[in-house]
Amino acid sequence: MKLWLRALLSTMSAFLGVQSNERRERDFIDGKFPVFVAAGITFTLLFLLAVYGLVQFVLWSVD
Amino acid sequence: MTKAMVLALSLFVLPAKADWQVNMTQGVTELSREIFDLHMLIFWICVVIGVAVFGVMFYSIFKHRKSKGAVAEHWHENTTVEVIWTVVPFVILISMAVPATATLINMYDTSEADVDIQVTGYQWKWRYQYLNEDIDFFSNLSTPRDEINNVQVKNSNYLLEVDKPLVIPVNKKVRFLITSNDVIHSWWVPNFAVKKDAIPGFVNESWVRVEEPGIYRGQCTELCGKEHGFMPIVVEVKAEADYARWVADQKAMKLISAGAASQNYAVADLIAKGEGVYNAACAGCHQVNGQGMPGAFPAITASAIATGPIQKHLDIVLNGKAGTAMQAFKQQLSAVDLAAVVTFQRNGLGNSVGDSIQPSAVQQ
Ligand SMILES: [Cu+2]
């Protein structure tokens, strides 16, 4: 698997709060720190956008 | 236990049970019932979850007990199970959020109100200003001090009664703009399901549409100082015609009190009236006997101001003293009440200055 794809998957698991030990160890052996930071920031922004969008959608749908 | 004993015991238990309300108030508005139903729905969801989780837990503890030879399994992780116990609560929470959001949106929709009332918290009373009418008054606790001090028997509305209740019309959308003059208070009427903080410098909004005329009572629910428990809320909900009459009466009374302020009063009348005003508006701090509370509220008895020049005395009562608990009473009391309370303080509570002031002089 591509390095960035694996970082993406691991970040997704982190958002859910579940990760297997095997994947965690692999991330620490041949993962790259900046890639995880970038994935983390991207996911946080996506999450904020999703919450914002959901609220806007709900408010719009009741009007 | 004999039948007679059961009967005797139930005599104690039954009336007590009637007074015992453990659950949330259902209230008298559509919104309050909606909130109540939501509360019950979520309560039962929690009960089901609780019974299921503890049921499985207690069953497992019992079934796999050591005396039956159970051996604990040792394993580190199970991603599937972990994902399930994360996703299931997530789904439950979201499904509870759907009805809750609908109610919340309704609660916050203060648009298109028929009546707008500004509610301002003071230490320790409420002020109600009807924004579309020229009505503005304070609502003070009216429970006699003697009941509070255990000298007199307490009545059934003890600490839940005021001199002038807030009056609103039935079946109309009434919007409250809630704020505070000093510290944070909170305006709470359980039957309306309205509980909003009154914060100095902020205006919080809330609304009700009450379906039944009646008297509803509430309290300040934000610890706001010494008399926090002594600033209740009473709302009188009137039928539309009665409300219109009340509004007209308020306006007529305003004219009458303006007329009253231009009359001259006998000193004895001022003193007698002033004692009533003092007990209602001042005694909470300065005490009924005028001794105050050392360190917090000065005594009026032998006070330099209350026995000195009358203009200075009047000035502190009218304008208060910034940065202290002594508020400005200019807007809280009528000219007649102000003249009366100042005259009383100078000639009662152990003082005998001998002078007096007329309402007409206060107005200037
Ligand atoms: Cu308060």
Q: What is the DSSP string of B56-77?
A: HHHHHHHHT-GGGT--------
Between CA B222 and CA B214 the distance in angstroms is 26
Residue B152: pLDDT band with limits 50, 70, 90: confident
Q: Which of B337, B227, B102 is nearest to B345 (CA)?
A: B337
* DSSP string of B150-191, one letter each residue: TSSPPPTTTTS-BSS-EEEETTS-EEEEEEESSS-EEEEEGG
Q: Which residues of A touch B81 (CB under 8 A)?
A: none
Q: Which residues of B touch A19 (CB under 8 A)?
A: 79
pLDDT digits (tens, 9 = 90+) for B189-216: 999 999 999 999 999 999 999 999 999 9
ipTM score assigned to the predicted complex: 0.80
Q: Is the pLDDT of residue B84 over 70?
A: yes
- Nearest by CB to B77, from A16, A20, A62: name it: A20
Between CA B173 and CA B170 the distance in angstroms is 9
Q: Which residues of A touch B87 (CB under 8 A)?
A: 16
Between CA B190 and CA B128 the distance in angstroms is 19
Q: What is the pLDDT of residue B2?
A: 56
Between positions 19 and 38 of A, the ones with CB within 8 A of B are 19-21
What domains are defined for chain B?
30-66+77-107 (no CATH), 115-259 (2.60.40.420), 264-361 (1.10.760.10)
pLDDT digits (tens, 9 = 90+) for B298-347: 999 999 999 999 999 999 999 999 888 898 898 888 889 999 999 999 99
Between CA B69 and CA B326 the distance in angstroms is 75
To the nearest whole Å, the CA of A58 is away from the closest chain B CA by 9
Structure tokens given for B189 = 């009427």
More confident site: B191 or B363:
B191
Q: What is the pLDDT of residue B1?
A: 46
If you compute the radius of gyration of chain A from its CA atoms, what whole number of angstroms results?
15
To the nearest whole Å, the CA of B101 is away from the closest chain A CA by 9
Total CB pairs under 8 A between chain A and B: 18
If you measure from the C-alpha of residue B182 to the centroid of ligand 1, how many angstroms do you get, rounded to a whole number?
10
Contact B154, B101 (CB under 8 A): no
% of chain B surpassing 70 pLDDT: 95
B77:A21 CB<8 A: yes
- For B243, residues 6+ apart whose C-beta sits below 8 A from its C-beta are B167, B168, B169, B170
pLDDT digits (tens, 9 = 90+) for B213-249: 999 999 999 999 988 999 999 999 999 999 999 999 9
% of chain B surpassing 90 pLDDT: 59
> Domain total for chain A?
1
Q: What is the pLDDT of residue A56?
A: 93
A59:B105 CB<8 A: yes
- Residue range(s) defining the domain that contains residue A14: 2-62
To the nearest whole Å, the CA of B41 is away from the closest chain A CA by 21
Residue B324 contacts A where some CB pair is shorter than 8 Å: no
